[in-house]
Structure 1
Amino acid sequence: MDRKPVRAILFDLDNTLIETNRAGGVAIQKTCELLKKTLGLDEGTVFRVCDAYKDKLRDEVFDASGARSIDEVRVGHWEESIQEVVAGSPEPSLATDCYYLWKNTRLQLLSLSPDIRNLLRELRTGYKLLLLTNGETRTQREKVEVVGCEEFFDAVVVGGEHPEQKPSPSIFTHCFALLGVEAQDCVMVGDSLGTDIKGGLNAGVRATVWINQGGSLPDDSIKPDFTIPSVLGLPDVLESLK
């Protein structure tokens, strides 16, 4: 293995540094309760509405024209989900209420733990740090702001602000240029094999570190250099790369 010293670390945000899935689960549960109370629905029907919303989020295509804001798009997701499952025509304001309850609850629950704050603070004394997160610009910037993590990074790169997102090599090349480093100077850390790890491998970074919190089985076609259950295990990985 090339023993060139690691100079920079690229971090994913969601489910790497912050527990977005957990916050989203609580937010969905609260929205289910609102729908149940407002429409008098049984639990199964409510879950079908919320599952439809989650499906639309997963398949979401950002409106590059800017004709509709991300808030308007996601209010539309709730409106369509309710209409697809519930008979009749609920009040138009219900979709708006669902969206903002879901959004605000999720944001309120997102945070950097004290341990992760300490880790980033310590790492920054020896490495350049960059946050590289996929997603729609406003959504991701809101997360960065609410968790107060920008202070720990030399740069923050949001995929939605660029022509291509992870795993495209182009966005990694942009990150390397921002930091003034080469690919082999860098380690990529993230929870997604398909975007973080594949992207790091495509870009030729020194090492990739997969955060596998749930003990998922790896994709045989994408092989991270290291697998750890929490980002807090990163110092041991970095020590092994010296």
Structure 2
Amino acid sequence: MKKKNYRFLLADLDNTLLDFSASEHYALCRTLSELGVTPDDEVTAAYSSYNDSLWKRLERREITREQLIRTRFTGFFESHGIKADGAAAAPLYERYLSRSAVMIDGAEELIGKCRGKVGVYIISNGTARVQLPRLAASGLDKLCDGYFISELVGYSKPDVRFFENTVQRLPGFEKDLALVLGDSLSADIAGGIAYGVDTCLFDPRGRYDGNSRIKPDYTVNDLTSVIDILAPDRNPDL
């Protein structure tokens, strides 16, 4: 693909710029421990898979965000025979999750290279009460040029309306000069393709084999490789 002088980077937050897996594990272990449940590897892995399946259902508009937040622990505990209060778990988990912000290797370097050359805007499917504190704790709220959380936008990725509403707030936005970066084929890449912008899959574990019907324009295993795609040094100052 011919290199472009990209001027807008729309970057996913969780497991793209911030290590959500690490934050999820921390929050889940603290929550389960407070409820008297041993947070062993089997339980934490099962929850992660269960939670991910709910977010996929949200992407497909099969459930609402409110249903996801309200029922994920009650549903998980019931389906796995865990005797604990799911209603009490939900706010505990969100409280601990909102306190954890671990930057992915290369994220700060990528954003630094873009400064003044490529506008960096965070696009997240999370909830505001969790994501806003994490953005502040990581410093991403200051490092990036803006951030858009689906709960506040009114739509979730991959809904094209999420992108339509987001880019309306970006000064001088041009589709041809925009790149969506994210780790999710079904949310970030599918959404970017539907909206008509170039896409880059962040695939640090090398799981993407190219056989999916959803095909990104670029695939990278580390965030510093995105610098080569954006080539910010070719751009005049914004």
Residue 229 of structure 1: how far off its partner (Å): 1.1
2:123–2:149 CA contact under 8 A, matched in 1 = yes
Change (3 A) 1:187 1:79: closer
Instruction: List runs of 5+ in structure 1 lacking aligned partners.
Output: none
**d(CA) in 2 for partners of 1:59, 1:118:** 33
**d(CA) in 1 for partners of 2:220, 2:233:** 15
Residue of structure 2 in register with 1:17 after alignment: 17
Residue of structure 2 in register with 1:27 after alignment: 27
Residue 69 of structure 1: how far off its partner (Å): 11
Q: Does 1:172 align with 2:155?
A: no
* TM-score normalized with structure 2 length: 0.75
Q: Secondary structure at the match of 1:120?
A: helix
Change (3 A) 1:186 1:241: farther
Q: CA RMSD in A?
A: 3.6
Change (3 A) 1:190 1:79: closer
Residue 226 of structure 1: how far off its partner (Å): 1.1
Q: Secondary structure at the match of 2:103?
A: coil
Matches within 5 A, 1:14-163: 14-34=14-34, 38=36, 47=43, 51=46, 55=50, 58-59=53-54, 61-62=63-64, 70=69, 73=70, 77-83=72-78, 85-86=81-82, 96=88, 98-99=89-90, 101-112=92-103, 115-163=106-154
Residue of structure 2 in register with 1:8 after alignment: 8
> How many aligned residue pairs are there?
224
Identity %: 22
Change (3 A) 1:58 1:236: same
Pairing partner for 1:220 from 207, 212, 229: 212
**d(CA) in 2 for partners of 1:17, 1:42:** 26
**d(CA) in 2 for partners of 1:111, 1:201:** 28
**d(CA) in 2 for partners of 1:175, 1:79:** 33
**d(CA) in 2 for partners of 1:199, 1:79:** 30
Letter in 1 for 2:125: N
**d(CA) in 2 for partners of 1:112, 1:217:** 22
**d(CA) in 1 for partners of 2:109, 2:199:** 22
- Per-residue CA deviations over 1:130-150 (Å, capped at 9, x if unaligned) read 111113333333332332311
2:106–2:223 CA contact under 8 A, matched in 1 = no
Letter in 1 for 2:54: D
Letter in 1 for 2:46: D
Change (3 A) 1:32 1:137: closer
- Per-residue CA deviations over 1:134-181 (Å, capped at 9, x if unaligned) read 133333333323323111222211112234322222222233322221
Residue 190 of structure 1: how far off its partner (Å): 0.7
2:113–2:232 CA contact under 8 A, matched in 1 = no
- Per-residue CA deviations over 1:170-209 (Å, capped at 9, x if unaligned) read 222233322221111111111111111111122222x311
**d(CA) in 1 for partners of 2:68, 2:230:** 41
Q: Secondary structure at the match of 2:168?
A: helix
Letter in 1 for 2:22: R
Comparing 55-64 with 181-190, which one deviates more in the overlay? 55-64
1:27–1:102 CA contact under 8 A, matched in 2 = yes
Instruction: List runs of 5+ in structure 2 lacking aligned partners.
Output: 56-62
- Per-residue CA deviations over 1:48-83 (Å, capped at 9, x if unaligned) read 9x836862564264466xxx995xx2xx54345445
Change (3 A) 1:43 1:81: same
Change (3 A) 1:43 1:143: closer
Q: Secondary structure at the match of 2:181?
A: strand
* TM-score normalized with structure 1 length: 0.74
